[in-house]
Chains A and B, each alone.
Chain A
Amino acid sequence: SAVISQKPSRDICQRGTSLTIQCQVDSQVTMMFWYRQQPGQSLTLIATANQGSEATYESGFVIDKFPISRPNLTFSTLTVSNMSPEDSSIYLCSVEGMQGAGGTEAFFGQGTRLTVV
C-alpha cells in the first residue's frame, strides 16, 4: 500500500484568499486524484492529475477555481482559489495501487480540513 502525506492537515482561511494543499506519496504513481468531502457527505472527485499533463476535471469543477500541479510522480498540489464559506470541506488526495491479483485499490491521505470564514 502507498503512504500518502497531506499538508496542512487543517486550516482556517479568510474568504477571498487561496490555500494550496500538498500531497506527497512514498512511491511513484502515474495518476493522483483529488476529492472533496463536504460536511456529512461522501467523497466527490474533483480532478485526476497525471504527471506532465494538465489535470482532468470532473463536471462542476474548473481549473481556475481548483488549479492542480503535478511536477513529478510522487507529488501534487491542489489550490482552492478565491475561497468562500461554501468551500469549507475536507480535501483528500488519493492514489491507486495494483493489488497482487491484478485488481486496483485506492489509498487516501489523511485529508485537509478547510474552514473558510
Chain B
Amino acid sequence: GQQLNQSPQSMFIQEGEDVSMNCTSSSIFNTWLWYKQDPGEGPVLLIALYKAGELTSNGRLTAQFGITRKDSFLNISASIPSDVGIYFCAGQLGPYGQNFVFGPGTRLSVLP
C-alpha cells in the first residue's frame, strides 16, 4: 500500500528556534493534512492543503503542498514549550470517502 516517509523522526530544539519537517511519498496525493498529537489525546488538525504548490499558514505554522504532489513540509516559527508533541502528515489519494494514509510522525521536543 501507499507509504509516507517523515523526517526527521525526532528533534530537540531550543525554545525560540524555527522547526522544519517534511513528508514524502512515492504516490501522488490530492490532499495533505498535518496533525499534532499530545500524549493521551487524538490527533488535532493543524493545516489542510488541497492544491499543488499551495502555501498555507496557521499562526506560527506554515505548510506547503509540493509541486510534484508527492511531498509536503511543515514549518514552525519561534517554537514554544507547548509545541512539544508528535506531528503527523497524512495524505489522501482520492476524493471524499477515501481514507487518509499517515506518516510515522516527527517527535518534537522543545528545550527551555
Residue numbers of A with Cβ under 8 A of B are 1, 4, 6, 30-31, 33, 41-45, 48, 59, 92, 96, 98-99, 101-111, 113
Interface size on B, residues (CB 8 A): 25
Residue numbers of B with Cβ under 8 A of A are 1, 30-31, 33, 35, 40-45, 48, 50, 88, 90, 92, 95-97, 99-100, 102-105
How many Å lie between the Cα of A110 and that of B95 in the bound state?
25
B90: which A residues are within 8 A, CB to CB?
106
How many Å lie between the Cα of A45 and that of B98 in the bound state?
11
Q: Is B42 touching A103 in the complex (CB atoms < 8 A)?
A: no
Q: Is B92 touching A104 in the complex (CB atoms < 8 A)?
A: yes
How many Å lie between the Cα of A43 and that of B66 in the bound state?
23
Q: Is B99 touching A103 in the complex (CB atoms < 8 A)?
A: no
Q: How far is the CB of B75 from chain A (nearest CB, A)?
A: 20
- The chain A residue sitting closest to B89, CB to CB, is A42
Q: Chain A CB within 10 Å — which of B1, B97, B99 has the most?
A: B99
How many Å lie between the Cα of A56 and that of B96 in the bound state?
16
B104: which A residues are within 8 A, CB to CB?
41-42
Q: Is B99 touching A45 in the complex (CB atoms < 8 A)?
A: yes
Q: Is A103 touching B43 in the complex (CB atoms < 8 A)?
A: no
- The chain B residue sitting closest to A113, CB to CB, is B40
A113: which B residues are within 8 A, CB to CB?
40
**Given A43-B88, A98-B96; A103-B102 close (CB under 8 Å):** no
Q: Is B88 touching A99 in the complex (CB atoms < 8 A)?
A: no
Q: How far is the CB of B63 from chain A (nearest CB, A)?
A: 13
- The chain A residue sitting closest to B103, CB to CB, is A42
Q: How far is the CB of B99 from chain A (nearest CB, A)?
A: 5
A102: which B residues are within 8 A, CB to CB?
50
**Given A42-B104, A109-B42; A104-B99 close (CB under 8 Å):** no
